[in-house]
């Protein structure tokens, strides 16, 4: 299971985003190459705007760049003008110390 992944666009010079939104007309909707990050904190998921050009919203609230916001299942993420619905069955598992 990935602990974090980037939402954005894969361009000619980079292949970095884990979730490439190019096929959803994301470029014309204002999605940046490295737009936002979804990260597991061990008990929950958080969404972080990566200083995107056109902003990130969570359930209609604009996010401050680089600050983590709790990401519940059923939430609506907006990257520029592209809206996505987040759905997952349970929060991430807590890793056991070895």
Per-position pLDDT tens, the chain of length 98: 458 889 999 876 665 668 899 899 899 999 999 999 999 988 899 999 999 999 999 999 999 999 999 999 999 999 999 999 999 887 666 555 55
Distances in Å between the Cα of 5 and the Cα atoms of 1, 17, 97 are 11, 7, 23
Residue 10 exposed, middle or buried by CB count within 10 Å (0-12, 13-18, 19+): middle
Question: What are the backbone dihedrals phi and psi of residue 22, each rounded to the nearest 5 degrees, phi first?
Answer: -55, -40
pLDDT at residue 47 in the model: 98
For the chain, which domains are there?
4-85 (2.60.200.20)
Token couple for 24? 């959803």
């Amino acid at each position: 299971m990935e602990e974090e992944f980037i939402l954005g666009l894969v361009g000619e010079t980079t292949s970095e985003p884990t979730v490439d939104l190019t096929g959803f007309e994301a470029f014309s909707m204002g999605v940046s190459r490295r737009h936002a990050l979804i990260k597991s904190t061990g008990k929950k998921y958080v969404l972080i705007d990566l200083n995107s050009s056109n902003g990130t919203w969570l359930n209609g609230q604009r996010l401050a760049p680089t600050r983590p916001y709790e990401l519940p299942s059923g939430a609506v993420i907006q990257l520029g003008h592209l809206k996505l619905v987040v759905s997952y069955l349970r929060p991430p598992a807590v890793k056991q110390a070895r």
